[in-house]
Structures are given as structure tokens and as C-alpha cells.
Amino acid sequence: MREERKAGLVPVALVTLVRRVPMFAVGRLLSLLALSVMSLPVAAYEIPKRSLEARIHDADLVIFGQVVALESSEPENEFADGYAQVRVTTFLKGSEGKTIRVLYRGGISEAAPLCCTVGASYFMILRGPASGVYESVDGPYGVFEINASAGTSFPIKPEGLEDARLLHARVMTISDFPPVMSGIIKTWISMAVVEDGTSTRQELLMVYLGDQQPMPKVRDDCLFTVHREEAGGFVGRGSRANHLATVVDDYRCGSDMPRALQGVSVSWPGIAGP
């Protein structure tokens, strides 16, 4: 109740202040208020990373789909709202027609999903539709490319919700980066990915850890859920890596992994066990 009263006082205080200012100064005051809002750090607009379960719970539609066309509200303006026509291949939650319209560009850039490329397939967690258009439930954490543009083959074929964008891996090395303004820690993890249970390939993962998210440990066996891969680093986060990076949205290690994998014996050729 106290929080509601405090929130209610804000507009009243602003109105009172404006009324007491001479008319010639009102314009200047409003300009200063606008500038102060525009100068807020970008971190204030960053979308918080929630668990996959929470995102799916809040979604109206969860699908696998392929982008078949892109359109823009203003074709000559690269910053105008952009819409993707998505052909749904599998409904995991909710139902809709075979083709849906998804907003992939518009508003605050930090809230935009990492999408879309014509012909590419995506795992989408969406809300809506508002005026016939669906939106990512949590900005960049609601739309994920299934087949990475860099062409890396994933160990698990995406046939169901829990099989989408998964990497079963063992952590080899960890390198920390200083926390950014939002309190999120960027971490590079060198890891080995098991393929067909007989061989491994080494990969580098870029992980964004929330301030309450535990750090994986070296030699941990983990199940990683993947954002996307890019040659040259992660597009949209300012990474300047000159190698292939797999960006991790979420991960579970050891006893926190799904029960179906906890009892599975995995061979890690050439890598010492825990």
C-alpha cells in the first residue's frame, strides 16, 4: 500500500512544480526533463534474463517456425518496425494459423529479438497477438535460431521443446570479464561438446550470468541452451571475437540437469573426468 501511495505522488508533484514555474520557463523545464530521460544509461532498458520455464509460462504461443518473408512499415528506413512472416512447423503451446506475423525490429533495440533471416528456422516464445502481430516474450531471450548461421551441427536434433538448441558439454576452462552496468557478468567458457557419444569438438561459449546465477565449474558436465552462433562474435552485444562463439542463454549442470540426462553415461574422449 505504501508503494502505491508513493507512486501516486509523483505525477502530482510534477504538476505542482510546473504550475509554480513562470510560463516562459515551462518549455525549458520540459526540455530538461526530456533530456534527462534520454540520457539514462542503456542498461535501464535491458531485458532481464528469466528462466526458460518462466518465459514459456508467460507466453501465448511457443513454436518452431521458418521465416518466409520480411516486411517493413517504412522500407526506406532501416530503423522502422520490421515484421517477419513465419511459417509454423510445430506448435508447442497455443495454436494459430499456419503462418503468423512476428515483430522482429522496433522500439528499443535492446528489447528486439535476434531475428530474422529469410529461410532460417527459429524457436519462438511469443506473446500476443496485438493487432495481429506477435512479439518476443522477453526480447532477445524469446527467439532463438535453431540452425546456426555459421553452420555448426548440433548434437541433438530439435524435435521437441526440451531438445531445441541444446548442447551437452563438459567445461574445460573459464575466463571472466568485468561486470557491465546492469550487473550481468560476461564469461567465456571453453568447452567440449559430445557428438554421437563417441567424439568431441571444442567450442567457445559466451555466457551472460545474472548477479544471482552460479558460475559453472571446470570439469562440470552441463546442458547448455544456445542463443545463436556467429563467425566474428555475437551480433548485438558488441563482441569483437574473431572466432566462432556460441552464446548461451541458460545452462544446468550436474544434479540440476533434467533427470533424463543425469543417469546417462557419457564418454568424453581425451578429457579427464571429474
Task: Write the pLDDT tens digit of every residue in 54-86.
Answer: 777 888 888 888 899 988 766 655 566 788 999
pLDDT bin (cut points 50, 70, 90) of residue 7 is very low
Name the more confident of 27 and 243: 27
19 pLDDT higher than 70: no
Domain ranges in the chain?
2-39, 52-145, 165-262
Nearest Cα to Cα of residue 170 among 188, 195, 152, 194: 194
Scored b (16 or more CB within 10 A) or e, 196-228 reads eeeebeebbbbbbbeeeeeebeeebbbbbbbbb
Name the more confident of 167 and 165: 167
Distance CA 191, CA 178 (A): 21
Distance CA 88, CA 246 (A): 25
Determine the 3-state secondary structure of 152 from DSSP: coil
Q: DSSP letter string over 113-147?
A: -S---TT-EEEEEEEEEETTEEEETTGGGSEEESS
Distance CA 7, CA 220 (A): 46
Do residues 111 and 142 make contact, with C-beta atoms less than 8 angstroms apart? no
Helix residue ranges per DSSP H, the chain:
2-20, 23-38, 52-58, 259-262
Q: Please, what is the average pLDDT of the chain? A: 58
Q: Average of pLDDT values for 122-150?
A: 76
145 pLDDT higher than 70: yes
**Chosen CATH of 165-262 out of 1.10.3470, 3.30.200, 3.40.50, 2.40.50:** 2.40.50
Distances in Å between the Cα of 219 and the Cα atoms of 141, 169, 172, 176 are 27, 9, 6, 16
**What cell does 169 get?**
558439454
User: What are residue 253's phi and psi, to 5 degrees?
Assistant: -125, 150
pLDDT at residue 225, as a whole number: 64
CATH topology of domain 52-145: OB fold (Dihydrolipoamide Acetyltransferase, E2P) (2.40.50)
